[in-house]
Amino acid sequence: MTPLKEVPFVVFDTETTGLSLTSRIIEIGAIKIFKGRIVEEFSSLVNPGVSIPPKATSIHGITDEMVKDAPPIEFVLERFLKFLKDAILVAHNAVFDLRMLAIHLERIRMPLFQNPAVDTHTLARKYFPELKKYNLPFLVEYWQSPYNGYHRALADAKHTGFIFFRMLEKQGLSLNRPLSQFWEWVGKPLFVKDCLPQIKESDLTNPKVKLIVEAINQERDLEIIYANGHLAFKPRLIRPILCFRSGKYHYIEAFCYTDEIVKTFRLDRVLRIKVITDLC
């Protein structure tokens, strides 16, 4: 049976332009741990193609100036997926980071990775109910992480890795224990495919949503009239990629042929949708 010490773990974190599903990743940081030691690091800023809101900058300190020469997300994700290989993923509030990765991978038509993931926030709440808080800064102080800094991807990944292995130690799960016992302790793993926002049956009662979902499934282009932007109230041609709900609004992720980039459109601001049929 495979012992934990022979299993690679990748602990990762993302920084984004915000917390909504329309936010963009602006930094990915990760560490690879093997036999209880950090053997490799990954860190990259990302040019999101949009301005970073001041509220987000006030949290992580990342500015437009810092990312203006950074690579776009497709290049960073390609490197990150190579870094992952067959490792088990670890993150704090993992669903958020996995969802961000899933949306970005879907946008650029890259395959969703199959690595199982575990969430240190969920494990801390499950096995340490006596704690007052479960956010990362509290756990860092509580278990005295030796690393410095907060709210930057690589620093938070290092903190999360320390907390993860401290929890294993506290629960008596040494690196000599079998991997099967580890999964019994964790429970059901997370997978990035399950974190991709999905349209529910009830959403399909909205004619616009239904039309967009059909266009995505059939890989068809749409002509839309949108109420915002430099082409407001003028036709623009798009290829829809993803449709999802965030809060009370539906959104479309689509490649805009006019601007030649992937853009986000709020569905209630789409005034008209026309399916472009193949010309014979």
- pLDDT tens for residues 53-110? 999 999 999 999 999 999 999 999 999 999 999 999 999 999 999 999 999 998 888 9
Residue type, 242: L
Burial of 94 (0-12, 13-18, 19+ CB in 10 A): buried
Tokens 């009239």 locate to 225
Alpha-carbon distance 170 to 131, whole Å?
A: 14
The closest of 52, 14, 49, 7 to 32, measured between CA atoms, is 7
User: Model's pTM, two decimal places?
Assistant: 0.86
151 is catalytic: yes
The closest of 13, 17, 19 to 31, measured between CA atoms, is 13
Q: Considering the domain boundaries, does residue 270 fall inside one?
A: yes
End-of-domain residue from the set 156, 176, 195: 195
Check whether residue 14 and residue 98 sit in a common domain.
Answer: yes
What are 17-66's pLDDT values in tens digits? Answer: 998 888 999 999 999 999 999 999 999 999 999 999 999 999 999 999 99
Pairing of strands 117-119, 9-16: unpaired
What are 138-174's pLDDT values in tens digits? Answer: 999 999 999 998 889 999 999 999 999 999 999 999 9
Check whether residue 174 and residue 239 sit in a common domain.
Answer: no
Tokens of 216: 């995505």
End-of-domain residue from the set 148, 164, 195: 195
Provide the pLDDT for residue 1.
80
**Which one is catalytic: 104, 151, 159, 250?**
151
